[in-house]
Amino acid sequence: MPELPEVEVTRRSFEGRIAGARIVGASLGKPLRWPLGCSVESLAGRRVLGVDRRGKYLLLRLDQGLLVLHLGMSGSLSFAPALPAGGPHDHFDLLTDAGQLRLHDPRRFGAVVWAPDDHAPVLDKLLGRLGMEPLADDFSLAAFKAGLKASRASIKRLLLAGRLVVGVGNIYASEALFLARIRPTTQARRIGPARAERLHAAIRSVLEQAVTAGGSTLRDFQAADGRSDVYGREGAPCHTCSTPIAMVRQGQRSSFFCPVCQRP
């Protein structure tokens, strides 16, 4: 599944090229998770102002309304001067005078939804409960600490829920918790100020490294030095203390940690 770094890399790959373009036409393939919310014909003539991101949603801002795109489990976006004829897994094409944007999604869990403005009910339904943006300048340490203290959940579950901070998927949560020296099963409210500050910084660092590396998948994640610290390394020696990396199941997710370096 594309995570926040992959979505941010995608945004950066075409935002500068599509900004200012005028929409010539659009077409839909097989139905996606939610209806578009407008006719494809009504998009023609509108101008693309820019591309923002909120969590794992891309916001294609138009001079009238905006298009919200989600890549689902297996989706990807392509932008080129011209693309070949669409196949059975190509579900949305936006033709502009600067190029063609296409959503390819074999599993069809992705979405393209139009909203008339930032206050539309459909936008509130999709984005209204998302937490802080970890790569934004306003990723508040004070609000992060307050969110930890208010939660009875384990820190790993809290991070994955996305209500406190968005985009910290399974691999990134495991790596950030290792850098902060916090065990994933630790109750969030038991994390003191010093460890909370380390975790806040680690989340930003791990995600920034992933964006710089061009994004990661569950199979190829590595840190900036070319290796993962804990993710997927059960039984292998910790890079810091040589203790075998442990794994515990939390819900349906595997959490990897060093029993020595990461305290409960």
Active site (catalytic) residues? 2-3, 56, 253
| Nearest CA-CA partner of 70 in 60, 79, 80 | 60
- Token readout for 240 is 């810091």
Which stretches within 93-169 are classed as H helix? 121-127, 141-149, 155-161
Length of the chain measured in residues: 264
Cα 193 to chain centroid, rounded: 26
Q: Is 196 helix (H, G, I), strand (E, B) or coil?
A: helix
What is the C-alpha separation between 3 and 5, in angstroms, rounded? 6
For residue 38, give every residue at least 6 positions away whose Cβ sits within 8 Å of its Cβ, in sequence order, or none: 65, 114
